[in-house]
Amino acid sequence: MAEINSDIYQAKAMLDADHLIGLPTETVYGLAGNGLKAEVVSKIFAVKNRPHFDPLILHSHSIGAISEYVIEIPKTAKILADAFWPGPLTILLERNQKIPDLTCSGLDRVAFRIPKHPKALSLLKILDYPLAAPSANPFGYISPTSSVHVQQQLGHKIPFILEGEISEVGIESTIVGFENGETIIYRLGGLEVNAIERLVGKVKVLPHSSSKPDAPGMLKSHYAPRKNIILGDIEKLIEQNPESKIGVLSFSKFYNNVETSLVLSKTKDMHEAAKNLFSHLRKLDESNVDLIITEKVPSEGLGKAINDRLQRAAVRE
């Protein structure tokens, strides 16, 4: 058996004692705890200040382990799981009674994902329960892509953060489910829609508009910095705000006429852009600017998910 670092055993000891930990994954860092115990899951909601109607994702290490908690794994789900797990894909499945209502906010389906991060996967393999893990940020704020982000915001509330370097993908998993024979995308994310469609044909992407969502976490104002943020034509917005100390977050172009200019990817690489998105937004939020100006990226590949996050970061309700 491959050697397992002692920090992974430390994480296991914490989790077995019903504590929460910061968990590195390839998408974003999670706030993880035993997903089968309502009292542990309840702590997750409390630490994040998250409303109980917004269900959690369970993380496991194998399809075999997941099948213990669901009524069935439909054929399309199996195709996607075989192709993309471990990876940035979450699948909604009909749950059985082993999963507490609180984990799924009382819904009939449970969200499952097998993460690819080697430490997360090693940890899950030595646990005998799945881990409930929402992104490790206070509800509504920008998701964390490094242990430092988790430490800054939740460090005082949790006893342990498993160090896992910077999240490779940088945005949350893509969430799929099935209704009346149709494959539905409930949240755009780190797995491209095209990759899914190549295997299972046309899918329906649900718009993220409602404020009491059926697929929660789809609240309009989400992933939001505390500073004012406007999405649009960067040059025009700079001109229209001559009094402001501006921070720009652009796709690829550097702006030298503002206080701070951060670029998602100089070479227009969507994977690099996704990886930088949340940490750049955080940097601008923590800097001395008083207005963040950003723009949409081309709507291809991961660009769709990046635009979804930017749009919701910029909405104020």
* Interacting residues with ligand TXA (CB under 6 A): 25, 27-28, 30, 54-57, 90, 92, 104, 107, 109-111, 113, 115, 133-135, 172-173, 175, 186-187, 215-218
Residue 59 C-beta: closest distance to ligand TXA, Å: 6
Residue 191 C-beta: closest distance to ligand TXA, Å: 10
Residue 28 C-beta: closest distance to Mg ion, Å: 7
- Distance of alpha carbon 277 from alpha carbon 203, whole angstroms: 26
Angle between helical axes of 193-200 and 75-84 (0-180°, round to 10): 130
Q: Which does 292 bind (CB under 5 to 8 A by kind): ligand TXA, Mg ion, none?
A: none
**Are 150 and 55 spatial neighbours (Cβ–Cβ below 8 Å)?**
no
Which residues are 132's β-sheet partners? 33, 58
Rule CB under 5 A: which of 216-255 touch Mg ion? none
- Distance of alpha carbon 1 from alpha carbon 276, whole angstroms: 35
From residue 285, alpha-carbon distances to 82, 222, 293 in Å are 39, 14, 11
In the numeric block, which tokens belong to residue 29?
């860092």
Q: Can you point out the beta strands (E) in the chain? A: 21-23, 30-34, 57-59, 89-94, 109-113, 131-132, 160-161, 174-179, 182-187, 204-205, 228-231, 246-250, 260-263, 291-294
Binding letters toward Mg ion, positions 92-131, x by CB under 5 A: ----------------------------------------
Among 25, 27, 122, 135, binds Mg ion (CB under 5 A): 135
Residue 257 C-beta: closest distance to ligand TXA, Å: 36
Q: Which does 218 bind (CB under 5 to 8 A by kind): Mg ion, ligand TXA, none?
A: ligand TXA
CA dihedral over 126, 131, 137, 138, signed as positive or negative: negative
Whose Cβ is closer to ligand TXA: residue 127's or residue 291's? 127
Whose Cβ is closer to ligand TXA: residue 27's or residue 183's? 27
Residue 200 C-beta: closest distance to ligand TXA, Å: 19
